[in-house]
Amino acid sequence: MEEVSRKKQSSIILALDFPFQNPQDRENLLTKAQSILKEVSPHICAIKINHHPTLPLGIFGGVQTIVNQAHKAGLLAIMDCKVNDIGATNQTIAEYYYAAGFDALIANPFIGWEEGLQPIFDIAKKHQRGVILLAYMSHKGAAEGYGQTVIDSETHTQTKQYLSFAKKALKYGADGVVVGATVPEKIREIHQVLGKNVPIYSPGVGAQGGGAATALEAGARYLIVGREIVQSADPAVAAEKLKASAKSPI
């Protein structure tokens, strides 16, 4: 990721999210996604795919076309499936997404290591792909889970859930963690734990109220941006502006 980001001179990851539309209009949706990706490609380092295109288009023959297009443009592709199940199921989920060409997927550390995250990391290692873990989400309710005070199961001391997840990301050798741009103080704390060992991916810029510069100053390495680009009158201009405002860490 670091290599692609430097080459493209961009820290922006495009969240290719679209609002609900009639599932019969699948072809239009695919055309729209491909056309925005083409326009925006020079200004980003990766795409992130969530349920928005995956549910109507499916993976093989649908979203996979977008992943292939991203790769041809020299970009990486992250699957934002927030894997959150038992190990055997997680393994199958990871195998399908990696088979579709995704370079990394996002998983939820609440499931724990044994029979949870471990099979995902094993499959990732086998295919030389990445795993990114959630550490503190960008929405308000994140405080109820990621923000709660817990007794760490290993140290038996009181800590914040997100700091415990940050330490686990280091221990597991995660390729990144997700921390909302809406909570720069949490980015700062998590960055103190991770240093340069695990990069912070930060969604929540623009539509959710987070600021690009603030998130980067706090320690985010990549900005994940959806509506601010996708729903702009000129997605390429919006992406270029964000790229320019996020120049500092490169």
The catalytic residues are 82
Nearer of residues 119 and 204 to ligand BMP, judged by Cβ: 204
Integer angstrom CA distances of residue 21 from 3, 25, 196, 216? 36, 7, 41, 34
The correct pick among 30, 120, 132, 225 for binding ligand BMP (CB under 6 A) is: 225
Strands (E), 74-116: 76-83, 104-107
The correct pick among 56, 87, 176, 203 for binding ligand BMP (CB under 6 A) is: 203
56 lines the binding site for ligand BMP (CB under 6 A): no
For ligand BMP (CB under 6 A), the number of binding residues is 18
Q: How far apart are CA 83 and CA 93, in angstroms?
A: 8
Q: Which of residues 109-128 bind ligand BMP (CB under 6 A)?
A: none
Q: How far apart are CA 160 and CA 122, in angstroms?
A: 27
Residue 175 in contact with residue 193, Cβ under 8 Å? no
The correct pick among 90, 138, 161, 164 for binding ligand BMP (CB under 6 A) is: 138
- One DSSP character per residue, 203-249 reads E-BSTTSB-HHHHHHHT-SEEEESHHHHTSSSHHHHHHHHHHHT-TT
Nearer of residues 81 and 193 to ligand BMP, judged by Cβ: 81
180 lines the binding site for ligand BMP (CB under 6 A): yes
Choices 84-92, 124-132, 189-197, 218-226 (CB under 6 A): range interacting with ligand BMP: 218-226
Nearer of residues 103 and 228 to ligand BMP, judged by Cβ: 228
206 lines the binding site for ligand BMP (CB under 6 A): yes
Dihedral sign from CA coordinates of 224, 97, 136, 218? negative
Of how many residues is the chain composed?
Answer: 250
Nearer of residues 38 and 51 to ligand BMP, judged by Cβ: 51
Q: Please give the torsion angle defined by the CA atoms of residues 113, 119, 120 and 123, in that order, rounded to the nearest 10 degrees.
A: 150
The residues of the shown chain that bind ligand BMP, judged by CB under 6 A, are: 15, 17, 50, 80, 137-138, 178, 180, 203-204, 206-208, 224-228
